[in-house]
Structure 1
Amino acid sequence: MNELNAVLKIGNVHSVKGRKVDVIVDKSKNASHLLYNGDIIKNVSVGGYIKITKGFEELVGKIEGEFISTDKSLERKEYAHNRDKISRVLNVSLVGYFDKLKFKQGIKELPLIENECYLLTQDEFNRVHHFIKDINGVPDIPIRIGSLASEKGKEISVGVNSLFASHIGIFGNTGSGKSYTLAGLYHKLFKAYQNKSGFKANAKFVIIDFNGEYLNGDENDNIITTFENKNLYKLSTRKQTHKKYPISEEEINDIDFWSIFLTATEKTQKPFIKRALSNDFYFSRFNNESDFRYALSSMLESLITNKVDKGDIIQFIYDVSNSVSAICLEPLIQEYQQSLHWHSSSDKYYYEANNVKTYLENFDFNNGIPVNTINRLAINTASITYLEKIRLRIVFQFYNEIARFNLNTEHISPLMKRLKTIEQLDSVITVSSEMSDNFLDIISLSDVNTSMKKVLPLLICKQIYDKKKQERNDKKYLNIIIDEAHNILSYSSQRESETWKDYRLETFEEIIKEGRKFGVFLTVASQRPSDISSTIISQLHNYFLHRLINNKDIEAVERTVSYLDQVSFEALSILPTGTCILAGLSAQVPIIIEIDKIDEGFEPYNKTIKPTDYWENPDV
């Protein structure tokens, strides 16, 4: 052994239990640092690395713990020094090996008893933390994300393809820096590629922002990237003057979506919805005034001639009026309430106006009394939205089946009462095939009510995923980014039916399991990983783990993140703000890193308020 190796040698293998190895430390190697070849090297400690030589093989292990062992054979010898009786033992977990000057993750061989163990040189340490892999013989493109927390000067870079062509999970309690990490990663990426024509043409990023952290209210903001690179949607179920998100006709006409959105029963209400959405007879008449008047009068004629109860006739007019905000049918409702009567002895309806009774057989529904009032109504069909037309389609189908087929309303009436929820959906989406050309869409849901916060992300993500899947274009890249993902990916929500919950989770689980084949990747950030489906967490490729305190969250990470070692796992609850554990395919070993600062003006809108600034000086 040469002199330099003697400096680095720290002990020998004492026991081997699979990938867990115990190493007895030489008694002369208990100092905190060593001087080697002009460099100060940190001595053996928990969280550090050692090299185990086995012939020509060089195995690398991470120190996960240490303890003291007493040599009982020396206890009976009075002349033995106390320090000779005690041995320092390291618990080491094998993480990889050196192969032709490169560090490779995994276990190639297991060491033997008495194999010598060494500290890593600075060069070897750098090789362990060199995460830029070769892809088809070509080195990946590096992107710096931070620095090693234990070695302030050690920059950490990962490969663009290794990180962004993967599913990413960012977890941490509120205030731990989770959203800052998310914004920082994509700010770095966009800064590097935003001026490249291929990136603009082939990359698309969609951020689902539940708390409004990436859209601060100023529509010209530069959060994450400059304003001209993104399309902003500040959706609201409370305000009418705002931009709506475009959803295609194909997506909005999906029968499964409407069945689940309206909580339709499987055997009666879902088949009814299918009949309503498949029947274009009335739907085609909602586009101009004359056709709309005809549809209204012909339905009233059908209800009256088929002797439907007067209450149902009046309710039909109410339902039509409630379906369309721009049309008022109150005059028609009043006239039918006052003038339409039922003569039980003659088993006929009659219409009474100016003390004149006109019986059913004398009605002229095209030009006569009932139609006169309809012709005087102010009807502006140009203002009817696509979703209002869908609601009208369901209303007309319901009363058509009452008139013609004597429909049992007991089963369908509960569904009709739930049609009002379509108004909320109509306030946040518009039916259009026009999509933004910018590479980033930010969709803020901070001003959207709770029920729509469940529906919108599903509708939006399903649309862009289905479109991408149908394209089958290998050049196109799509990344769906969901901040506060527990709002939509929770499997324990009690606010929705099991059918809706299953549909929602199955959709996102398909994206995360099959999306890679179509160039679709998911980035999820959450402060409650325990609330997210374990199927989704286990399918993530790269993890940025900030401080987690709740035991259930820590257990969820431990159960599903196979890349995490014991040292990193135990550090989860004490990580400082802005520091996280990087583990996954882009990093050869789990490491604790400090995330780089984001350029000024591009930070997310989530700073913690400092109350004393305003308590002491209210004018600040």
Structure 2
Amino acid sequence: MIKHSIQDDTILKESIFIIGKVSSVEGRKIKIRVNKDKNLSHISYKGKIIKNVSVGSYIKITKGFIEIIGKVEGEYITREKTFNHEYKKDDIQIVRILDVSLFGHFESEKFKQGIKEMPLIDNECFLLDKDEFNKLHQFFPKDERSIKIGTLTEEPSQEIKISIKKLFASHIGIFGNTGSGKSNTLAKVYSELFDEYGDNENFVLNSKFVLIDFNGEYTKEKMISKNKVVYNLTTRADSSNKYKIKRANIERLEVISVLLEATEKTQKPFLSRALKNSYLEEDFEGRATGNVIKLIRDILQKADSTLSTSIFTELFSHLQGVEEEFGTIARDVLVKLEAGELKYHSRDSAYYIGEGTSRIFSNGDLDRLFTNFFGKVGDLKINSANFDRIKFKILSQYYHEIINGYSNQEHIRPLIGRMFKKFDMLSKTIEVCEDEVIDKASSNLEVINLKDVNLEMKKTLPLIICKQLYDEHKGDAAFEKKSLHLIVDEAHNILSSSSERESETWKDYRLETFEEIIKEGRKFSTFLTISSQRPYDISSTIISQLHNYFIHRLINDNDIRAIEKTIAYLDKLSFESIPILSIGSCFVAGLASDIPVKVDIDLLPLEKQPRSETVNLEDIWFNKSTTKS
């Protein structure tokens, strides 16, 4: 009796869930001829209303004991000529045809991506039942840790969970126009992770997350995690809230030459010589003052007419920019130089001070001239803090080569001007430290807030910070047991391949650095997450190397084409619906989801939402408290 009941249920279910038969097979694209009684929008099964087959539905094709899964991408009708035996005449029959793309199969009660066998003509096709639908959206083994990101758009009762291992051990791309919900998606993904495992000791000790925040969206106290460290960097004023960078990571030829936009043939070789100054390297603070004294004496002794007294004015003006405490000494010397107290005697090829018989010449009594005019220089103390050291090394090399005729002043001088401007901006946001000075952060989540940083530094700082983090992690012998996660919001700001606001050398170096991270980082447990409203502007190399995608609404054709060219996970139907996605909805595709799915990402509570909401003009304009009586 029970056996008979089960058999009846199976027959009933198949009779209701069957939708038609395969009518043609062309690669993984097939056509299904729909049965006449399956053309309604809904069907009834055991008292429940079930959505019938339509564009976007999943279907099952049975080939013996093999169950092949496909997705309906389109439909149309065709007219077929049939013979009516009752009335002995030809009839026209309208037939509904479905275009279906195959993408997987069921094996041992589990969904598997890929096709092992193709269907045959006349194989029967069915709607998926609830259990099969759930299996299709079970993207990980039941014993694997996961996070919930939202619900299926077409089936809100179906929760979508993603494997932590498959998602976070990958490069992630989050794309969408302004107001599409991409900031909430980024925050949701990482909030779920930290809410679930933020108190786990191993998670805290063995992972590091660094979020580059261009607009200050992720700095709220409860954003992602309460236990985060926020660096509010600014170029508007000197601040104590600076990011620490190791001296060795700044004083690299490749970094300095790109930062200062050094020319390849003259300025870059000059910088190489400056950085290799072993004399200053051995005892900087002890030898820096002596180096200045030697430069002054060399100028006085050489007494080159091409240099004149202007070389001293330039030297002391530059020294003011190196060391603040040197300001008084430099100003005193500059005042005397401007007053013309130091003169050049062209006939004797010598510098001199004084008038008439009390004149002191550099070729007669150099020591007395130096003591009387430059004596206080001996009190100079140049420390190696922040950028003072590297500035002084470059200046010292510059004047050494100019005095001795090794370099053309006109070739190197523009570099010196750029150096002061660039290093002054960097010094407001970066603290240069020796290796042993940098303490480990108290949290495994750092947010670098660049909201108050100027445009030039917004392109510079993320590169310097990410380069240091990646190189240090890669050089750690225990990198296999730790992970580094770099998260870049508004990534088009630094990953653009078409930016014209910077030199080609700088752009190439920036792209090469991030392309190396995305191509090689996985081997060193380093993973990149990028979020952007303009995927077209981002290097195609970077987009094509991403493993998981969250694609919100994109309107621009170039952006959609950029996604289409580099992402193999999305089907044609999904691509065509990207411009009409609603706010908060996105396609989730990649290694973490066996199939591309349209998901409504859960909206975070107000206190955990990023600061990216559109301003409410009605509240601003018509608030009673601000309205005139």
TM above 0.5, one fold?
yes
2:97 maps to amino acid: V
Task: Tell me the secondary structure at the aligned position of residue 103 of structure 1.
Answer: strand
In structure 1, C-alpha distance between the alignment counterparts of 2:552 and 2:73, rounded to whole Å: 20
Could you tell me which residue of structure 2 aligns to residue 430 of structure 1?
431
1:238 has 2:247 as partner:
no
Cα deviation for residue 124 of structure 1 reads 0.6
In structure 1, C-alpha distance between the alignment counterparts of 2:459 and 2:85, rounded to whole Å: 72
1:363 maps to amino acid: L
Could you tell me which residue of structure 2 aligns to residue 418 of structure 1?
418
Could you tell me which residue of structure 2 aligns to residue 589 of structure 1?
595
1:278 has 2:282 as partner:
no
In structure 1, C-alpha distance between the alignment counterparts of 2:242 and 2:59, rounded to whole Å: 57
Cα deviation for residue 531 of structure 1 reads 0.5
Does the CA contact (< 8 Å) of 1:75 and 1:85 recur in 2?
A: no
- The C-alpha deviation readout for 1:88-115, integer Å capped at 9, x for no partner, is 0000000100001101011111111111
Show the 5 A alignment for 1:121-160. 121-133=129-141, 139-160=143-164
Could you tell me which residue of structure 2 aligns to residue 347 of structure 1?
349
Could you tell me which residue of structure 2 aligns to residue 479 of structure 1?
485
1:388 has 2:388 as partner:
yes
Choose from 256, 259, 266 the match for 1:258: 256
Task: Tell me the secondary structure at the aligned position of residue 281 of structure 1.
Answer: helix
Could you tell me which residue of structure 2 aligns to residue 464 of structure 1?
469
In structure 2, C-alpha distance between the alignment counterparts of 1:44 and 1:504, rounded to whole Å: 49
In structure 2, C-alpha distance between the alignment counterparts of 1:176 and 1:202, rounded to whole Å: 34
Could you tell me which residue of structure 2 aligns to residue 605 of structure 1?
611
Cα deviation for residue 413 of structure 1 reads 1.8
Does the CA contact (< 8 Å) of 2:84 and 2:90 recur in 1?
A: no
Task: Tell me the secondary structure at the aligned position of residue 522 of structure 2.
Answer: helix
Choose from 596, 600, 620 the match for 1:614: 620
Cα deviation for residue 603 of structure 1 reads 1.4
In structure 2, C-alpha distance between the alignment counterparts of 1:104 and 1:146, rounded to whole Å: 22
Could you tell me which residue of structure 2 aligns to residue 363 of structure 1?
366
Task: Tell me the secondary structure at the aligned position of residue 2 of structure 1.
Answer: helix
1:440 has 2:445 as partner:
yes
Could you tell me which residue of structure 1 aligns to residue 95 of structure 2?
87
Cα deviation for residue 267 of structure 1 reads 1.7
Show the 5 A alignment for 1:327-338. 327-328=326-327, 329-337=330-338, 338=340
2:132 maps to amino acid: E
Could you tell me which residue of structure 1 aligns to residue 318 of structure 2?
319
Cα deviation for residue 412 of structure 1 reads 1.4
Residues 61 and 355 (structure 1), Cα distance of their counterparts in 2 relative to 1, 3 Å cut: farther
Cα deviation for residue 410 of structure 1 reads 2.6
Show the 5 A alignment for 1:172-183. 172-183=176-187
- The C-alpha deviation readout for 1:15-45, integer Å capped at 9, x for no partner, is 1110000101001111112223454321110
Q: Which 5+ residue runs of structure 1 have no aligned equivalent? A: none
- The C-alpha deviation readout for 1:226-264, integer Å capped at 9, x for no partner, is 1xx211101111121340001011111111010111111
Cα deviation for residue 167 of structure 1 reads 0.6
Residues 417 and 553 (structure 1), Cα distance of their counterparts in 2 relative to 1, 3 Å cut: same
Does the CA contact (< 8 Å) of 1:24 and 1:90 recur in 2?
A: yes
Does the CA contact (< 8 Å) of 2:208 and 2:483 recur in 1?
A: yes
In structure 1, C-alpha distance between the alignment counterparts of 2:174 and 2:86, rounded to whole Å: 57
Does the CA contact (< 8 Å) of 2:74 and 2:98 recur in 1?
A: yes
TM-score (norm 1): 0.93
- The C-alpha deviation readout for 1:568-610, integer Å capped at 9, x for no partner, is 1111111111111101111111111111122442211222111
Cα deviation for residue 6 of structure 1 reads 1.4
Task: Tell me the secondary structure at the aligned position of residue 495 of structure 1.
Answer: coil
Does the CA contact (< 8 Å) of 1:235 and 1:242 recur in 2?
A: no
Residues 86 and 74 (structure 1), Cα distance of their counterparts in 2 relative to 1, 3 Å cut: farther
Identity %: 45
Per mean C-alpha deviation after superposition, the further-off stretch among 481-490 and 397-406 is 397-406
Task: Tell me the secondary structure at the aligned position of residue 486 of structure 2.
Answer: strand
Residues 31 and 404 (structure 1), Cα distance of their counterparts in 2 relative to 1, 3 Å cut: same
Cα deviation for residue 225 of structure 1 reads 1.1
Cα deviation for residue 297 of structure 1 reads 2.1
In structure 2, C-alpha distance between the alignment counterparts of 1:428 and 1:355, rounded to whole Å: 54
In structure 1, C-alpha distance between the alignment counterparts of 2:153 and 2:250, rounded to whole Å: 49
1:556 has 2:562 as partner:
yes
- The C-alpha deviation readout for 1:544-577, integer Å capped at 9, x for no partner, is 0111001111111111111001121111111111
In structure 1, C-alpha distance between the alignment counterparts of 2:412 and 2:231, rounded to whole Å: 36
Q: Which 5+ residue runs of structure 2 have no aligned equivalent? A: 1-9
In structure 2, C-alpha distance between the alignment counterparts of 1:81 and 1:155, rounded to whole Å: 51
In structure 1, C-alpha distance between the alignment counterparts of 2:419 and 2:355, rounded to whole Å: 34
In structure 1, C-alpha distance between the alignment counterparts of 2:63 and 2:492, rounded to whole Å: 47
Does the CA contact (< 8 Å) of 2:548 and 2:588 recur in 1?
A: yes
* RMSD of aligned Cα (Å): 2.2
Does the CA contact (< 8 Å) of 1:445 and 1:453 recur in 2?
A: yes
1:9 has 2:18 as partner:
yes
Per mean C-alpha deviation after superposition, the further-off stretch among 239-248 and 574-583 is 239-248
2:294 maps to amino acid: S
Task: Tell me the secondary structure at the aligned position of residue 208 of structure 2.
Answer: strand
Choose from 517, 524, 527 the match for 2:530: 524
Residues 354 and 246 (structure 1), Cα distance of their counterparts in 2 relative to 1, 3 Å cut: farther
Cα deviation for residue 215 of structure 1 reads 1.7
Task: Tell me the secondary structure at the aligned position of residue 401 of structure 1.
Answer: helix
Does the CA contact (< 8 Å) of 1:246 and 1:435 recur in 2?
A: no
Could you tell me which residue of structure 2 aligns to residue 397 of structure 1?
397
1:99 has 2:99 as partner:
no
Does the CA contact (< 8 Å) of 1:365 and 1:371 recur in 2?
A: no
Cα deviation for residue 324 of structure 1 reads 3.0
- The C-alpha deviation readout for 1:267-296, integer Å capped at 9, x for no partner, is 2111110110110434666536xx554332
Show the 5 A alignment for 1:283-294. 287=285, 292-294=288-290
In structure 2, C-alpha distance between the alignment counterparts of 1:487 and 1:76, rounded to whole Å: 72
Per mean C-alpha deviation after superposition, the further-off stretch among 593-602 and 463-472 is 593-602
Task: Tell me the secondary structure at the aligned position of residue 588 of structure 1.
Answer: strand
Task: Tell me the secondary structure at the aligned position of residue 335 of structure 2.
Answer: helix
Task: Tell me the secondary structure at the aligned position of residue 471 of structure 2.
Answer: helix
In structure 1, C-alpha distance between the alignment counterparts of 2:371 and 2:120, rounded to whole Å: 102
Task: Tell me the secondary structure at the aligned position of residue 85 of structure 1.
Answer: strand
Does the CA contact (< 8 Å) of 2:361 and 2:369 recur in 1?
A: no
Show the 5 A alignment for 1:13-92. 13-37=22-46, 39-73=48-82, 85-92=93-100
- The C-alpha deviation readout for 1:506-538, integer Å capped at 9, x for no partner, is 100110011011110000000000000011001
Does the CA contact (< 8 Å) of 1:140 and 1:159 recur in 2?
A: yes
In structure 2, C-alpha distance between the alignment counterparts of 1:423 and 1:241, rounded to whole Å: 13
Could you tell me which residue of structure 1 aligns to residue 169 of structure 2?
165
In structure 2, C-alpha distance between the alignment counterparts of 1:526 and 1:60, rounded to whole Å: 33
1:205 maps to amino acid: F
In structure 2, C-alpha distance between the alignment counterparts of 1:40 and 1:570, rounded to whole Å: 29
Cα deviation for residue 411 of structure 1 reads 2.0
In structure 2, C-alpha distance between the alignment counterparts of 1:534 and 1:85, rounded to whole Å: 49
Does the CA contact (< 8 Å) of 1:255 and 1:277 recur in 2?
A: yes
Q: How many residues are aligned here?
A: 604
Cα deviation for residue 80 of structure 1 reads 6.9
Does the CA contact (< 8 Å) of 2:285 and 2:381 recur in 1?
A: no
Cα deviation for residue 380 of structure 1 reads 5.8
Does the CA contact (< 8 Å) of 2:20 and 2:32 recur in 1?
A: yes
Does the CA contact (< 8 Å) of 2:267 and 2:412 recur in 1?
A: yes
1:509 maps to amino acid: E
1:513 has 2:512 as partner:
no
